[in-house]
Structure 1
Amino acid sequence: MFRRTRRLALISAIAATAVILSACTGTAAPDPGATSPGKPDPDATLQVGLVLEPTNLDIRHTSGAALEQILIDNIYEGLVSRTEDNEIEARLASDYEVSSDGLTYTFTLNDGITFHNGTALTSADVVASYEAVRTDATVQGNAEFADVASITAPDAATVQIVLNKPNQNFLFSLTGPAGLVFQAGDTTDLKTAENGTGPFTLTRWSKGNAITFARNDSYWGEKAGVAEVEFQYIPDFTAGVNTALDGGVQVLTAVDPNLVSEFEGTDFTLTTGRTTDKATLAFNNAKAPLDDVRVREALRLAIDHEALVEAVGAGTTLYGPIPELDPGYQDLSGVISYDPEKAKALLKEAGQEDLELTLTIPSFYGTTVPKVLISDFAKVGVTLEVESVEFPAWLEDVYTNHDYDLSFVLHVEPRDFGNFANPDYYFGYDNPEVQSLYTKALETVDADESAKLLAEAAKIVSEDHAADWLYNGETITAVSPAVSGFPKDSINSRIDLAGVTVSTEK
């Protein structure tokens, strides 16, 4: 049996946020938390500029990084959470144990936890929350609880979860929506309201504009460093920069690399952060002509990935489905290269010399990637029409109905390789060998052996050209000198703001 223990008397480690598209290479600027112009003001409001606004706030029934980035660790909490480096740490649980066979997880709750409505949290709330995940297919994380045999509460402070078989990703899954704890029997309309346990409460949502949190002064742990947080949603990158320079926000996430120069000579610090962003050019593997591996390979051969990364100014090349921060990463640059002549030959062989395809892309991603793809594909005889749509339309048409040829989004979630082992996912990729390897990887208790199996499966996915991974993103964040402790890495996934402070002038 191994044991992980961490008391949460102090919650100052900040995790991550869902930024959409940003990055630059080079040396990161100094940590903005290292210098402060004055004393932290506990009555301050922190204003943060974001790009993608949630369609609703029901994180139990709605997927998307836009929800996770602001709600997890700020409004809602789970038994465990994760750091900026994607390391698992205790949260509502003071400690936890996992049996040596990987089947039994035992959690001990911290003392004095209450929901925002004042009700004390007990292990019964955890059991009810997780039973809902396990039994209700409409609840986020249901598939991740497929191996759960039982969830019990031996006493008011203890929760025990038993699996039918080992699952290497189970504990990590509890750091996401599946692991969040809600009050048993609560009737709060989660689409517009909340009742969590976190260091902030929801006060206002002006749709199309901003979401505002207030410090929860009854929080069971260390109180938040600011009185209020205002998330301003600014989908236009230029408008975001202008808002920051005009003093409208103290932190701007998702700074467009092409606009970095706008901050030269200002007091803002720019930080470059690592992410698990996979800039994914999705192929509809279940639809002709993308069901032909020769066509998919030809499209990948047609893309000059290094030139595309340079044009975007974002991150590094990525030739497979697993980024460097996730288990199973390996350099797969040997699988594919830039070879337009070979691409044309493959298209001819497949009878697709005058191929016309449509790229469906959410409008907030801008035009850089589509322009590069249009140009690269034209050189091999492929005509690409770009359909820029609002994000709700993308969710409906592409994600839900699988009605598309090609699509481009940043898949920001860590450890999401399982999407390629799910034939019902919008990729439409169905490879029994990959599914078998992924299953074995999950059931392997040894983390290193599990990672080797994932690497093997990922190589097959790349060799099948199930998609193209245009780059692994990095995030640029502009931070005012008044702000200390704002996270740098993994802010594509979430922003834990409890430890952030805003200082007064000296």
Structure 2
Amino acid sequence: MKLTRPRLGRVVIAAAACAALLAGCADAGAGDDVGTASSSEVSQTRGFLGEQGEPGEPVQGGTVTFASYAPVATLDPALTPPTGPTGGTEMAAVYDVLVQYDDESESFVPRLAESLEESDDHMTWTLTLRDGVTFSDGTPLNADAVVSSIKRFNDGAGLYSELYLEMVESTTAKDPSTVVFTLTRPWRDFPAILAYGHGMIVAPSSDKGGKFTPIGAGPFTVARLQPQQTLELTARPDYWGGKPNLDGLKFVAISGDQAKIDSLKTGGVDMIYLRGADTVNAAKAQFPGFIETASMSLVGLINVREGRPGADPRVRQAMAYAIDPEVINQRGYDGQNMAGTDMFEPWSKWHGDASGIEPDPAKAKELLDQAKADGYDGRLTYVGINSPERTKVALAIQAQLNAVGFDVTLDYASSVTDMVMRVNVDRDFDLALGAYEVTDVAPEIRLFNSLAGKSDPITGANDPEMNQLISDMLSAPDEAAKQAAIDGIQKAVNEQQPFMTWSAGQTYIAWADDVFGVDPSVDQIMLLDKAFIGK
């Protein structure tokens, strides 16, 4: 397999953890409102929406201001999760990416790379870099820089580094322009991981002096960063793809989706990132933009560690059968979410023959009674955030569990940071609201991060059958085999209930009518080197 690039011009660590938790990128979401309507009403799962006039010739100059989802605390890709909602767009602007997702071909194509070729035995990928690409400090982006940046990312436990180390045996600079990736087993979608943090190449000089400096080969350089508030970037005249149309980019913090919509209406910002069910729906009717639908945007995280109620599979199954996602949807989200127990709902490319369980309170009570007969007292602690929306969700969950015989205590964290400590760090919970946010593009990356490995860092789950199914999905020779593995994962989840699926959701990146040239990649990472403000 060979990837070729289409024509150019187509249309602090705790802070990072908090952002990842909210967006679901690190598998412990706080369960944000997720849009939009029911699964049966989804007409477009990914792509551009809205009417805009003809863009005309690109206009030079100006600054696009983007109210992002989670303003960055640092531009170190090993510390800030490199996904769309948590800094991926910002970091791609500074570092660029080796590979990007291309919607027209529905495949991953080279960007900083000139080509990426797979060997006949499917065990080796050879990446050839573009000639003449330099970092913003003037040093060349060569194979040694790629290898050292990837090693730095893995050593820093960057997002998806566990998957990379599982699947890639070695990363070698064959010559100044060639990097060879030798795999441990075939992975036909290997290029996908190079569209995330592994493909955001940090210059060797970034770590000099013991203080990280964001130096990359991207179209913009950093002018000013106020952590979690404002990031200002300036266009590079010597960018390999040609000087960007814009003079600069500005990323700002605006709290709340409605406030973002109001600011876009009045011209205070030019682009906004939305996740709220009601505001996604409202914005789609008002502004052009880019929509993406994700599976498992709302899940119930179960602590399965020894000594916790969830260590007993009967207790996990009882919870799953007791909770009807539509009740959560109606009571917590006014019926606007895409409720369902399928990991991949009917709108998804990966919806197969296996479906999620059907809520069954009688069966839940039977399973719970069995566990109680062996000494379980029925008590559970649910951890959530103390906000009006999350309280409604918590009460809906508590009522359904108590109705079958559980005794649920609601324990509210005062902030997202406190929630991160309770769930991600201390693991002091029995049940918590979360998000996995698995998109149809390369779903194996998120699924591995959520379900595989030696032990899930949040829930403690570690099942050999699940690990094998994840491995089968990664090494599937074709889409039919990949679908069969995903169906197997759904069946295993039904039996084991390491988590509970409650809803899918949509995100919407909206922009003003005069903004053109936004180029979406994977996971809502927006590439903005060709963006411009029209006349």
- TM-score normalised over the length of structure 1: 0.84
Partner of 1:420: 451
CA–CA separation in structure 2 for the residues paired with 1:364 and 1:199: 42
Q: What is the CA-CA distance between 1:173 and the residue it aligns to?
A: 1.8
1:12 aligned onto 2:34: no
Question: What letter matches 2:187 in structure 1?
Answer: N
Gap change, CA 1:412 and 1:163, over 3 Å in 2: same
Gap change, CA 1:384 and 1:56, over 3 Å in 2: farther
CA–CA separation in structure 2 for the residues paired with 1:442 and 1:358: 33
Gap change, CA 1:276 and 1:212, over 3 Å in 2: farther
Gap change, CA 1:277 and 1:339, over 3 Å in 2: closer
CA–CA separation in structure 1 for the residues paired with 2:232 and 2:347: 31
Q: Is the 8 A contact 1:68 1:177 kept in 2?
A: no
Gap change, CA 1:366 and 1:457, over 3 Å in 2: closer
> Equivalent residue of 1:74, what SS?
helix
Gap change, CA 1:437 and 1:274, over 3 Å in 2: closer
Q: Is the 8 A contact 1:68 1:493 kept in 2?
A: no
Q: Is the 8 A contact 1:309 1:315 kept in 2?
A: yes
1:3 aligned onto 2:16: no
CA–CA separation in structure 2 for the residues paired with 1:314 and 1:173: 33
Residue 371 (structure 2) aligned to one of 328, 350, 357: 350
Stretch of structure 1 that moved more, 162-171 or 311-320? 311-320
Gap change, CA 1:443 and 1:213, over 3 Å in 2: same
Partner of 2:29: none
CA–CA separation in structure 2 for the residues paired with 1:83 and 1:276: 20
Task: Answer 1 or 2: which has greater helix percent.
Answer: 2
Question: What letter matches 1:216 in structure 2?
Answer: R
Partner of 2:316: 296
CA–CA separation in structure 2 for the residues paired with 1:78 and 1:146: 22
1:494 aligned onto 2:506: no
Stretch of structure 1 that moved more, 462-471 or 336-345? 336-345
Q: What is the CA-CA distance between 1:140 and the residue it aligns to?
A: 4.5
Gap change, CA 1:439 and 1:308, over 3 Å in 2: same
Q: Is the 8 A contact 1:296 1:465 kept in 2?
A: yes
Stretch of structure 1 that moved more, 92-101 or 297-306? 297-306
Q: What is the CA-CA distance between 1:115 and the residue it aligns to?
A: 0.8
Residue 98 (structure 2) aligned to one of 79, 88, 91: 79
1:157 aligned onto 2:177: yes
CA–CA separation in structure 2 for the residues paired with 1:80 and 1:354: 50
1:209 aligned onto 2:229: yes
Unpaired runs of 5+ residues, structure 1, are none
1:464 aligned onto 2:485: no
Question: What letter matches 2:71 in structure 1?
Answer: E
Q: CA offsets, 1:316-361, max 9 Å, x none? A: 345354578988643643x411223332333233226753422234
Q: What is the CA-CA distance between 1:425 and the residue it aligns to?
A: 2.5
Stretch of structure 1 that moved more, 318-327 or 417-426? 318-327
Stretch of structure 1 that moved more, 440-449 or 283-292? 440-449
Q: What is the CA-CA distance between 1:162 and the residue it aligns to?
A: 1.9
1:330 aligned onto 2:352: yes
1:109 aligned onto 2:140: no
Partner of 1:376: 400
Question: What letter matches 2:447 in structure 1?
Answer: F
Q: Is the 8 A contact 2:36 2:281 kept in 1?
A: no
CA–CA separation in structure 2 for the residues paired with 1:59 and 1:322: 29
> Equivalent residue of 1:350, what SS?
helix
Question: What letter matches 1:4 in structure 2?
Answer: L
Gap change, CA 1:78 and 1:243, over 3 Å in 2: closer
Q: CA offsets, 1:336-387, max 9 Å, x none? A: 1122333233323322675342223497985553343244334435435142
Q: CA offsets, 1:83-123, max 9 Å, x none? A: 35973111111112101211111111112211122222112
Q: What is the CA-CA distance between 1:290 and the residue it aligns to?
A: 1.3
Question: What letter matches 1:373 in structure 2?
Answer: I
1:274 aligned onto 2:293: yes
CA–CA separation in structure 1 for the residues paired with 2:160 and 2:471: 17
Partner of 2:424: 399
Q: Is the 8 A contact 1:84 1:487 kept in 2?
A: no
Gap change, CA 1:64 and 1:178, over 3 Å in 2: closer
Gap change, CA 1:323 and 1:43, over 3 Å in 2: farther
Question: What letter matches 2:236 in structure 1?
Answer: N
Gap change, CA 1:43 and 1:62, over 3 Å in 2: closer
Q: CA offsets, 1:411-432, max 9 Å, x none? A: 2354222231222421211211
CA–CA separation in structure 2 for the residues paired with 1:40 and 1:369: 47
Q: CA offsets, 1:49-89, max 9 Å, x none? A: 22323343221244464444323532223322223597311
Partner of 2:506: 474
Q: How does 1:168-247 map to 2 (within 5 A)?
A: 168-187=188-207, 193-247=213-267
Q: Is the 8 A contact 2:381 2:431 kept in 1?
A: yes
1:285 aligned onto 2:304: yes
Unpaired runs of 5+ residues, structure 2, are 12-22, 25-31
Question: What letter matches 1:239 in structure 2?
Answer: A
Question: What letter matches 1:24 in structure 2?
Answer: T
Stretch of structure 1 that moved more, 324-333 or 83-92? 324-333
Partner of 1:49: 67
Gap change, CA 1:424 and 1:261, over 3 Å in 2: closer
Residue 36 (structure 2) aligned to one of 4, 16, 24: 24
Residue 438 (structure 1) aligned to one of 464, 470, 487: 470
CA–CA separation in structure 1 for the residues paired with 2:289 and 2:203: 40
Q: What is the CA-CA distance between 1:40 and the residue it aligns to?
A: 5.3
Q: What is the CA-CA distance between 1:149 and the residue it aligns to?
A: 3.5
Question: What letter matches 2:132 in structure 1?
Answer: G
Question: What letter matches 1:453 in structure 2?
Answer: A
Q: Is the 8 A contact 2:384 2:390 kept in 1?
A: no
Q: What is the CA-CA distance between 1:283 and the residue it aligns to?
A: 0.7
CA–CA separation in structure 1 for the residues paired with 2:73 and 2:190: 28
- TM-score normalised over the length of structure 2: 0.80
CA–CA separation in structure 1 for the residues paired with 2:518 and 2:411: 36
Percent identical residues: 24
Stretch of structure 1 that moved more, 37-46 or 200-209? 37-46
Partner of 2:14: none
CA–CA separation in structure 1 for the residues paired with 2:280 and 2:36: 9
Gap change, CA 1:115 and 1:252, over 3 Å in 2: same
Question: What letter matches 1:163 in structure 2?
Answer: L
